[in-house]
Amino acid sequence: MAIKVHHLRVGRSVFTVWLLEELGVEYELEIYDRNEMGRAPDSLKKAHPLGKSPVIEADGMTIAETTAIAMYLAENHDPNGVFTPPTEPAERAQWLQTLMYPEGSAFVPLLLKLLLSREAEPKPMLISMFTQAEVDLHLGFIRDRLGDKPYILGDALSLPDIGMSYICSMANNLELLGDYPTLKAYAERCMARPAFQRAAEKTGG
């Protein structure tokens, strides 16, 4: 049975669909639109109690959390072994850190930045200062980790690029990448891939 993706427009789950396109596996989409508050509709709670996207249904299971979904797909639905996680302990530890970092650490400061951009002036000072320092910290960290490589771990696209490029595209949408041209180019490089373009076209964003 094809994998089903519960996709909320517009958000991170297009990156999950991109992964499926890169993997070349069959999938079907159930598409949801945000409500007038910009939140997921209640109907998404039928797929998973958190009512967040992405959620996939695969092999008789329902799986939430982008990183868990990515790992599951790489370990179970990668016929060509393109995204197979490394097994050598030191390499695997580094790989896992890069895989989990986007959702685990980098996302929250960007979310705060997004929420602050919607707050009227005067902005709450403590939260603004914390957020700016965290955004600088994380964008600087990703810039240094990327260096002059085309992808986060080297010359080839790997599983951690899915989450890393989501973070960079979100930062770009928030107009935070003026001082980080390599991160902007990285997000654009990932999103220019034919598989991403197909995902964007099929999902509507």
Residues in contact with ligand GSH by the rule CB under 6 A = 8, 11-12, 39-40, 52-54, 65-66, 103
Determine the Cα–Cα distance for residues 142 and 102; give it in Å rounded to an integer.
10
Question: Closer to ligand GSH at the Cβ: 39 or 46?
Answer: 39
Least Å from the CB of residue 103 to ligand GSH: 4
Question: Closer to ligand GSH at the Cβ: 40 or 142?
Answer: 40
- Other beta carbons less than 10 A from residue 3's beta carbon: 22
Least Å from the CB of residue 99 to ligand GSH: 12
Residue nearest to ligand GSH (CB): 11
Structure tokens at 42: 């209640």
Question: Closer to ligand GSH at the Cβ: 11 or 109?
Answer: 11
Please report the beta strands in 59-200, taking only residues with DSSP state E, as ranges in sequence order: 61-64
Question: What SS3 class is residue 152?
Answer: coil
Determine the Cα–Cα distance for residues 197 and 158; give it in Å rounded to an integer.
17
Least Å from the CB of residue 130 to ligand GSH: 20
Least Å from the CB of residue 155 to ligand GSH: 27
Determine the Cα–Cα distance for residues 21 and 107; give it in Å rounded to an integer.
24
